[in-house]
Amino acid sequence: MSETLDLIHIRRHLHQIPELALHETQTAAYLRQVIETMPQQWLTIHHIPSLPTALMVKVQGSQPQRCIGYRTDIDALPVTEATGLPYASTNPGKMHACGHDIHMTVALGVLNYFANHQPKDDLLFFFQPAEENDNGGKLAVEAGAFTGEWRPDEFYGLHVNPELSAGVIGCRNGTLFAGTTEINVDFVGKGGHAAYPHLANDMVVACASFIMQAQTVVSRSVDPIEGGVVTFGKLNAGSIRNVIAGRARLEGTIRGLTQAMIEHIDQRLQAIANGIATSFECKVNVELNQGGYLPVENDPRLTVPFIQFMKNAPDVDFVETAPAMTGEDFGYMLHQFPGTMFWLGVDGHAPLHSAKMTPDESAISKGVTAITEFLEDRMTRK
């Protein structure tokens, strides 16, 4: 048992075994294996039966006044890695393209510190499945994971940011991330022969028309000062070039910094879908799923002191950041428990969700230091 962990080795191993939402079995087993190398004296490990890839670890405080939660997400994306790194993903078509491998490693580093140096307050580390999809944070809350002695009085979590230099901490009071709504749109018409368009009802054309009109929602119906996002990342239609497709399906995401804006965009898209159904004489079904991706609202009572600490810490470079249109189901958790989400700079050459995303690993130890020092300081205060 050693007091230090080889965090670079751990991160690279996690990077090689990316798994999609709710299927993070290898990842959860590896996390548990690493946690079991730490001194166990003050640790309790807990599983959530309905969320088997989640892992909760409590560190018993010496004179607990509160329980401080720290959350990391553990899932990956269906992206084929193109970094060319020697430790690239070994799971074809899956990649830690959102940096959750870094998130987990930082959490393990902080946990290891407190497994070796008993904290004053109780600490709760939550290794959360399904951030990208399927609302793992919400599922955990609904499963009652944070009740009784597992209830955090406050919750913290980070996200990596390739636009900030490695190790820089970024944060803001109030809204840090957008809320999102997942949107699926199904078009149903009549298939037919490519040579007889007049006898069919082409859903590729109806869908294309919807996509183009949907692009006017943000440009024409949203206050530019407030902003919003409509992105369709997935489109399925047809089976072969010479058969007119009778069905098409779009999957996308809607973003806004307030629930009111998201609802406004939802309504505009529904109105456009109704118009397409009329003009193309087809069925258009819009399915909206807000899930748990509420806006990430940083609580001022905790965020003001967090920012103050980071600004004054000699080992930390801090920047105040603008709100971002990324989503996070930590937003749901911050509607249950007060807390703060923040960025950790990783100085990437490619953005989040890119197949070439290559975070600078020096951010890991800087992140561990900043968070550990913050938590130590937090525990000395009321």
Ligand X SMILES: CC(=O)N[C@@H](CCC[C@H](N)C(=O)O)C(=O)O
Catalytic residue numbers, as ranges: 73, 132
What is the x/- site pattern for ligand X, positions 253-292, by CB under 6 A? Answer: x---------------------------------------
Closest approach, Cβ 302 to ligand X, in A, equals 21
Does residue 161 interact with ligand X by CB under 6 A? no
Distance CA 264, CA 257 (A): 12
Does residue 352 interact with ligand X by CB under 6 A? yes
Name the amino acid, one letter, at 120: K
The enclosing H or E element of 371 equals helix 362-378
Looking at 161, 326, 340, 372, which residue binds ligand X (CB under 6 A)? 326
Distance CA 174, CA 176 (A): 6
- Kindly indicate which of the ranges 1-9, 103-111, 213-221, 323-331 contains the residues binding ligand X, using the contact rule CB under 6 A: 323-331
Closest approach, Cβ 277 to ligand X, in A, equals 24
With CA atoms as reference, report the closest residue to 274 among 215, 187, 190, 202.
Answer: 187
Quick one: how far is CA 44 from the chain centroid? 26
Looking at 24, 182, 202, 297, which residue binds ligand X (CB under 6 A)? 182
Does residue 132 interact with ligand X by CB under 6 A? yes
- Kindly indicate which of the ranges 56-64, 84-92, 167-175, 324-332 contains the residues binding ligand X, using the contact rule CB under 6 A: 324-332
For residue 125, give both structure tokens: 């580390």
Distance CA 290, CA 133 (A): 11
The enclosing H or E element of 286 equals strand 283-289
CB 254 within 8 Å of CB 155? no
Closest approach, Cβ 81 to ligand X, in A, equals 16
72 versus 326: smaller Cβ distance to ligand X: 326
The enclosing H or E element of 171 equals strand 169-171
Does residue 328 interact with ligand X by CB under 6 A? yes
Total residues contacting ligand X (rule CB under 6 A)? 12
User: CA-based angle 54:110:30, to the nearest 5?
Assistant: 40
104 versus 206: smaller Cβ distance to ligand X: 104
Does residue 347 interact with ligand X by CB under 6 A? no
Does residue 293 interact with ligand X by CB under 6 A? yes
Residue 324 DSSP one-character state: B
Name the amino acid, one letter, at 355: A
- Whether residue 100 is annotated as binding a ligand: the answer is yes
CB 189 within 8 Å of CB 201? yes
- Whether residue 353 is annotated as binding a ligand: the answer is yes
Closest approach, Cβ 99 to ligand X, in A, equals 8
19 versus 328: smaller Cβ distance to ligand X: 328
If you count DSSP H runs as helices and E runs as strands, how many of each does the chain have, helices first? Answer: 9, 16
Closest approach, Cβ 103 to ligand X, in A, equals 10
Name the amino acid, one letter, at 105: T
- Whether residue 207 is annotated as binding a ligand: the answer is no
Q: Which residue has the tokens 């998130």?
A: 103
Rounded alpha-carbon distances, angstroms, from residue 16 to 33, 76, 158, 326 = 16, 11, 21, 24
With CA atoms as reference, report the closest residue to 276 among 222, 326, 206, 340.
Answer: 206
Q: Please report, as residue ranges, which positions from 82 to 101 form the binding site for ligand X (by CB under 6 A).
A: 98
61 versus 99: smaller Cβ distance to ligand X: 99
41 versus 289: smaller Cβ distance to ligand X: 289
With CA atoms as reference, report the closest residue to 294 among 342, 255, 252.
Answer: 255
Q: Which residues contact 140 (CB under 8 A, 6 or more apart)?
A: 48, 51, 54, 126, 128, 146
Q: Read out DSSP for 177-188?
A: E-EEEEEEEEEE
- Kindly indicate which of the ranges 166-174, 313-321, 326-334, 354-362 contains the residues binding ligand X, using the contact rule CB under 6 A: 326-334
- Whether residue 15 is annotated as binding a ligand: the answer is no
Closest approach, Cβ 326 to ligand X, in A, equals 4
346 versus 352: smaller Cβ distance to ligand X: 352
- Whether residue 132 is annotated as binding a ligand: the answer is yes
Q: Please report, as residue ranges, which positions from 191 to 250 form the binding site for ligand X (by CB under 6 A).
A: none
Does residue 133 interact with ligand X by CB under 6 A? yes
206 versus 324: smaller Cβ distance to ligand X: 324
Point out which residues bind ligand X (CB under 6 A).
98, 132-133, 159, 180, 182, 253, 293, 326-328, 352
Residue numbering of the annotated binding site for Mn(2+): 98, 100, 132, 159, 353
